[in-house]
Homo-oligomer: A and B are copies of this chain.
Amino acid sequence: MPDTMRAAVFKDVRDIHIEEVPIPRCGPTDAIVKVTTTTICGTDSHIWRGEYPVAPGRVVGHEPAGVIHEVGEAVTGYEIGERVVVGAITPCGACYFCQAGDLSQCAGYEDQWGIIGGWRLGNSMDGVQAEYFRVPYAQANLARIPEGLSDEEVLFVTDIATTGIAAVETADVQLGDSVVVFAQGPIGLCATAGARLRGAGLVIAVDSNAKRLEMAKAMGADVVIDYTQEDPVAKVKALTSGRGADVAIEALGIQETFENCLKSVRPAGMVSSLGVYGDKVTIPLEPFIYGIGDIDIRTTLCPGGKKRLGSLMDLVKIGRLDLKQLITHRFSLDEIEEAYPLFSNQEDGVVKVTITP
């Protein structure tokens, strides 16, 4: 085995390029996975644009499918060569947060929490847009790919599907609830699929991009709203007997969609926010004045762990969840410098790309 590998390294703003770097070493609770397919996430675009800080020299990327290459001595039950996915968040299972059920906020064995949470890959440690990567807390995070499923069919359970669907679960959607999802980017599309999966009675998708609204229908939306053509808040109310939706999901992270969520939900409704906010947001007066709204605002970071990834892959296998349809472009790892601007600038009708080492 060689000592070095090719990897996408963050150097500077708008400068992520392929370098030859050392293959990571395997500690006792780690595994090393050989990447077979990965992708670029919206969060990687934030890094690329300099909006989210990572250390120069960091290998980026956090959504891998691959093959187990090596397992640490304290890891049990896995074989070299097994096909796995690993989530963007890598819970240790042992800390205060993991034992509280807040896996996404994992503090790790080192007991460090906060802005980083359990998101380590391509953030606080080297990531997966590379030939190999190190899996921390491998026992809790190596999720076997069910037989018969391709990398492309399961790849998005590592982050966007888990997050989008978790936002639906966080919102505690009940059978027959009306759910509106603001913004149909990759993660919003997954929330739309999640709302349908969970038994929402009416799934409403909002965006301005005709292609994405079309895809929203394929993912499970009953009604789509082009907000450039009609007022989405008024339309949601019209569709829900004037009351407003039981649940609104925010999937972009700007004031406008956040505020539209608050205005679109019924009294005592639920706003579930998974967008990545680049600025403060303001709660308009009405929902809060005299506390009269009884509104919940819940934020969701991608929960991780092999069980959750496994459950979603079960849904893919049984035919309930088609994530592969989100893929619009395919690149090799060497082409990643070309893929970053295309994906980040939403060129050429891109929804999701794959990256193959």
Contacts and interface: CB of A to CB of B under 8 A. Distances in A.
A104 B175 CA distance: 18
B110 A305 contact: no
A72 B29 CA distance: 12
A202 interface: yes
Interface in A91-110: 91-94, 96-105, 109-110
A93 to B, nearest CB: 2
Among A46, A99, A101, A194, find the residue whose CB has the most chain B CB atoms closer than 10 A. A99
A81 interface: no
A293 B108 CA distance: 16
Interface in A70-105: 72-77, 91-94, 96-105
A94 B267 contact: no
Contacts of A294: 102, 104-105, 117, 299-301
A274 interface: yes
Interface in A282-329: 282-301, 305-308, 310-312, 314-315, 318, 320
B140 A94 contact: yes
B291 A276 contact: yes
A299 B287 contact: yes
A288 B296 contact: no
A109 B175 contact: no
A260 to B, nearest CB: 15
Contacts of A111: 77
A281 interface: yes
A163 B296 CA distance: 16
A36 interface: no
Interface string A233-268: 000000000010000000001000000000000111
B267 A113 contact: yes
Contact of A74 (B29, B140, B163, B306): B29
Given A75-B109, A286-B115, A311 B177 contact: yes
A134 to B, nearest CB: 15
A287 B201 CA distance: 31
Nearest to A290: B276
Given A99-B305, A201-B314, 7 more contacts: A77-B109, A93-B140, A99-B308, A175-B312, A176-B315, A277-B289, A291-B299
